[in-house]
A and B are shown apart, each in its own frame.
Chain A
Amino acid sequence: MIRPLLLVLLLIVGVAPVNAAESVWEKSVVTVEVTFKDYDFFQPWNTPTRSVRKHGLYVGNREVVTTAQYLPTETLVRLQKGGRGKWYAAKVIWFDPHADLAVITSDDPEFWVGLRPARLAKAIPQAQDFNLIRWRDGNLESRRVEFSKFAVKDGSLSFAPRLTLELNTDLGGLGWAEPVTLDGAVAGLTTSKSGNTCNVVPAPFIRQILEARAKGRYPGMGYFDFVWEPGENPTTLEHLKLKGPGRGAIVIRVPDRPGVEPVLKPRDILLEVDGFPIDVAGDYLDPQYGHLLLENLSSRGHLAGDTVRMKVWRDGAETNISYVLPKAQYHDDLVPRELFDHPPEYVVAGGLVFQALDQPFLRGWGEDWRRRAPFRLQHYQNSAPTPERPSLVLLSTVLPDPVNVGYQDARLLVVDRINGHRISTLADVVEALKDPKDGVHRVEFMKGDTLQSLLLDAASMDQATQRVIRRYGLPAAQRITGPTAQQKAQGTKSGA
């Protein structure tokens, strides 16, 4: 009889509700409910919505900070304090998916009554255990989580790398901005969990972003726009005429960006970045967080537009360069990873559905999209944009209509030209369709084994488009809100 009782007791202790010292978090940790547009990228005119609940942290000044996930396309945001009771209407006043942070407020003064600002840690010590705080069924739960390591990773919504705190825990359902605390301060917010590894955006990073924003000087996340490899092969270093002990990382690719004169060259060896020596693994020794990938030096105290000093080995000699951090922007990629700044675009003409090729479209193939989405479309992600072709448009499908008889099976074809005009954006499609030749529209696709061209009667296109809109219940023949090809080609990068 004793044993079962003990077991019950232990279980209760194991999932302990917060103790007295921890209960302060009740006044700082809030629940955020987000209803957001979860677009159907195969029918981009549809905008179904979905709701999720995550956590937020009151940081003072009537502001709640949380991770950016699901907020960029929100249609409704509500806040709840104390883990239960009334929901308060709220609004997003700032977000940056590249930083994976958002700030929410509520105009309802009642919401702020009784809340106490959380303290964001200025630094995080290594090799400590942390507490993870979350609301569960109206109660605040505090669980011990184990420190694993500091790593440099891409953001949950961005290719821009940043410091990430990795924790080890078998707790399920994490990654919803649950605060992780240490010694009465917030050490970070969870962003995702894979296996037993829980990723946390650390508080010092959050502070850096929020402080810049508060000063009105947040230009966005910067990143190193080049590819490097470790200099671990001494023969390669010798071939590059590096004198002295092995060190440094070798630059292997520098993208050709319009309007940006590259300051790095392939086969440069990065010896120092921001004053930190780079070792052959491409790491530097961070005074607070130990050995980290050099990539972290693009966000350690820096934002887009900042200058980072670099010492490189080039052509047998050391040289100093100033590298201006470009701003992380989705359309820097040929196939953008996200498109939060605008809803999915489309143009329907004569039943032909044109869409931008972006990763959200590829993710339409589901969780296993990397295996299931068409290889050729995915492979465009490995290509760089060019001034001539900063982005891609594809004929995603055909809505059958008498005007497009014979083309019903044409789909997932990347468009090269329409009526002789090069196509990079949907705006290009619209413009090109204004210029039929010999009474027909000619659509040409990228060279390959697939269909190369099709042709439609120009005179009956408008009528056919209207017929298609009616029959298939489309709200409009087109939705174009993203950057134009010219804007994409010029970019807004402030790179070196």
Chain B
Amino acid sequence: MLSKTLAAAVLCLTVLGLQAGSPERSVIQILTFSQQPQFDSPWRYDNVRRSGGSGFVIKGKKIMTNAHVIAWAKQILVRRYQDPRPFQARVAYAGHDCDLAILEVDDPSFFDGLDPLEFGDLPAVRSAVVTCGYPAGGEQISFTRGVVSRIEVQNYAHPGHRFLLAVQTDAAINPGNSGGPVLQDDKVVGVAFQGVPGLENAGFFIPPEVIRHFLKDIEDGKYAGFPEVGMNLVPLQNPAYRKFLGLPEDGVGARIDSLRPGGPAEKLLKKDDVVLEIAGYPVGSDGTVLYRDNRVSGAVLFQMVQDGEPVKLKVWRDRKAIDVEVPVAVYRGDRLAGNHYDTPPRYLIHGGLVFTPLSADYLRTLGRDRPDASSSALFYELYYRRSEDPEGARTEPVVLATTLAHPVNANLRVRGKVLVNRINGVRIGSLEDVARALEQKKEGAHVIEFAGQDGMECLEREASAQANPQILETYGISSDRRL
């Protein structure tokens, strides 16, 4: 059996034309045992799930992989190329916005004889690449070859609400390939990370630009994330609009349609400013820049610098070009609208009423049934309120997720899936507000008002406080809060 396996590997190498450096030796198999919390019962966890992924050795005796490979991990085991021994690994850094992570292995002997892979540059479109990893369908390392199909900004499915540069290839990228290196001339030119349902022969990998940004970010020992500038750049291709702004029909310059309140650009740029250059790159009238022979969204250039660093812009304003330096910043205001990882959800339980932040993860627990007025209000609050009504937006909207049945709350008609507006007169902008509003009340019943048409409910103050320990015990909850 051994000789057959070796023969197959050799054949594979020959076919794929890999160099003598044998980079596959530095490709790691990762087994993750993860457990995800239940966002509508935030003290509880789903069943333990086993999943497989790939990674590769980088300098500093570390392993790079995808963040989604190790998300919610309770245990991570790594295996070397053709070595049956599992080694315990742990997460050193996880960049969930860019779907990259760094692992460390407790046993330093794991890295014996393994050379770190080097990073190359962004591969050219049509150039050949090879993916390495441990996809589903077998236990041994797998290689697939393809070409770079295109390079542009894509939605990163792991965070859900982030768009970064990505490379599309026709090399097969299957479950288990995630985190594995994409090689060209024995250098890593990408990290395989996702496919798109419905697209055939299309896998995506994270390019060197994003990988290097991540590695530089963590040099100070903590991960900040990918920054942005807080502006909505839209094409400026209508002749009348260009003429109105005094611009020629030369295909240069995209228009700022809106600026995010509180964003880095809000005080430095204006609506209807036309961005002519970003970091020295001319901006096309469609909002793209020519970056290494690829037309990609100009937003990419703001993602090349680190949190807090400035980016130089040339802007057309009042019929003349001016230079503006705009600092970029990591935006966390929409964190609840994206997928959440590794930190269990916050909650507070009082009188059996379970309060938790409104998040994309929580909304998913409502299923895909026909939206009713209540869930519609939640959806609006999470995804639209911030941009449409920034003054009315809450830092952390809170929902009454569910009610743990007990005589003290048995008469409540509203029992969950609603947005909490006020408690005892206090507007609820975070879970801390809930705790404060409940603790401050010294007489009378607790009055809980819901947003939309869900009215209000009252809860006996003393009885609910007294019942809380019993409720926690009945439902097997170790603490009434995780704040």
Interface residues in chain A, defined as those with a beta carbon under 8 Å from any beta carbon in chain B: 227, 229-230, 232-236, 238-239, 250, 252-253, 370-371, 375-376, 378-379, 382, 403-407, 438-440, 446-449, 451-457, 460
Q: Which residues of A contact B452 (CB under 8 A)?
A: 382
Contact A448 B413 (CB under 8 A): no
Which of these binds chain A: B138-146, B190-198, B203-211, B453-461? Answer: B453-461
With A378-B376, A452-B257 as contacts: A235 and B445 at CB distance below 8 Å: yes
Q: Show 18 A/B contacts (Cβ-Cβ < 8 Å), sorted by A.
A: A227-B453, A229-B454, A230-B413, A233-B411, A233-B412, A233-B413, A250-B455, A250-B456, A370-B370, A379-B384, A382-B373, A382-B376, A403-B240, A407-B238, A448-B387, A453-B271, A454-B238, A460-B240
Q: Which residues of B contact A252 (CB under 8 A)?
A: 453, 455-456
Q: How many Å from the CB of A312 to the closest CB on chain B?
A: 16
Which of these binds chain A: B117-125, B229-237, B341-349? Answer: B229-237
Check: B258 CB closer than 8 A to any chain A CB. Answer: yes
Q: How many Å from the CB of B91 to the closest CB on chain A?
A: 33
* Residue of B232, B241, B373, B412 with highest tally of chain A CB at under 10 A: B241
CA distance A411 to B244 in the complex (A): 23
Q: How many Å from the CB of B122 to the closest CB on chain A?
A: 28
Q: Which residues of B contact A379 (CB under 8 A)?
A: 376, 379-380, 384
With A232-B411, A233-B413, A382-B452 as contacts: A451 and B234 at CB distance below 8 Å: yes
Contact A236 B458 (CB under 8 A): yes
Chain A residue nearest to B240 in the complex (CB)? A457
* Residue of A230, A236, A253 with highest tally of chain B CB at under 10 A: A236
CA distance A227 to B456 in the complex (A): 12
Q: What 10 A-B pairs come out closest when comparing CB atoms?
A: A457-B240, A406-B237, A406-B238, A252-B455, A235-B458, A236-B458, A229-B455, A233-B411, A239-B458, A455-B241
Chain B residue nearest to A230 in the complex (CB)? B413
CA distance A371 to B234 in the complex (A): 29
Contact A454 B241 (CB under 8 A): yes
CA distance A235 to B239 in the complex (A): 65
* Residue of B240, B384, B447, B458 with highest tally of chain A CB at under 10 A: B240
Q: How many Å from the CB of A204 to the closest CB on chain B?
A: 31
Chain B residue nearest to A231 in the complex (CB)? B413
CA distance A235 to B234 in the complex (A): 54
Q: Which residues of A contact B384 (CB under 8 A)?
A: 376, 379, 448-449
With A370-B371, A406-B241, A440-B240 as contacts: A229 and B271 at CB distance below 8 Å: no
Check: B432 CB closer than 8 A to any chain A CB. Answer: no
Q: Which residues of B contact A446 (CB under 8 A)?
A: 388
Chain A residue nearest to B464 in the complex (CB)? A235
Q: Apart from A234-B411, A454-B241, what 18 extra A-B contacts exist at CB < 8 Å? A: A230-B413, A235-B445, A235-B459, A236-B445, A239-B445, A252-B455, A375-B379, A376-B384, A405-B237, A405-B239, A406-B235, A406-B237, A452-B232, A452-B271, A453-B257, A456-B240, A457-B239, A457-B240
Check: B377 CB closer than 8 A to any chain A CB. Answer: yes
Q: Which residues of A contact B235 (CB under 8 A)?
A: 406
Q: Which residues of A contact B370 (CB under 8 A)?
A: 370-371
With A447-B388, A452-B257 as contacts: A236 and B456 at CB distance below 8 Å: yes
Q: Which residues of A contact B455 (CB under 8 A)?
A: 229, 250, 252
Check: B444 CB closer than 8 A to any chain A CB. Answer: yes
CA distance A28 to B412 in the complex (A): 51
Contact A455 B240 (CB under 8 A): yes
Contact A455 B244 (CB under 8 A): yes
CA distance A370 to B370 in the complex (A): 6
Q: Which residues of B contact A238 (CB under 8 A)?
A: 445, 458
Question: Could you tell me which residues of chain B, from 205 to 260, have a CB within 8 Å of some CB in chain A?
Answer: 232, 234-241, 243-244, 257-258
CA distance A370 to B376 in the complex (A): 11
Chain A residue nearest to B369 in the complex (CB)? A371
CA distance A293 to B459 in the complex (A): 26
Q: Which residues of A contact B411 (CB under 8 A)?
A: 232-235
Q: How many Å from the CB of A267 to the closest CB on chain B?
A: 8
Q: How many Å from the CB of A128 to the closest CB on chain B?
A: 33
Question: Could you tell me which residues of chain B, from 178 to 205, have a CB within 8 Å of some CB in chain A?
Answer: none
Chain B residue nearest to A383 in the complex (CB)? B380
Q: How many Å from the CB of B134 to the closest CB on chain A?
A: 38
Q: Which residues of A contact B238 (CB under 8 A)?
A: 404-407, 454-456
Chain A residue nearest to B236 in the complex (CB)? A406
Q: Which residues of A contact B241 (CB under 8 A)?
A: 406, 440, 454-455
Q: How many Å from the CB of A173 to the closest CB on chain B?
A: 24
Q: Mark B428-463, 1 if CB is under 8 A from A, else 0.
A: 000000000000000011010000111111111000
Q: How many Å from the CB of B110 to the closest CB on chain A?
A: 46
CA distance A161 to B283 in the complex (A): 58
CA distance A449 to B232 in the complex (A): 8
Q: How many Å from the CB of A444 to the closest CB on chain B?
A: 10
Contact A382 B377 (CB under 8 A): yes
Contact A235 B460 (CB under 8 A): yes
Chain A residue nearest to B448 in the complex (CB)? A236
Chain A residue nearest to B238 in the complex (CB)? A406
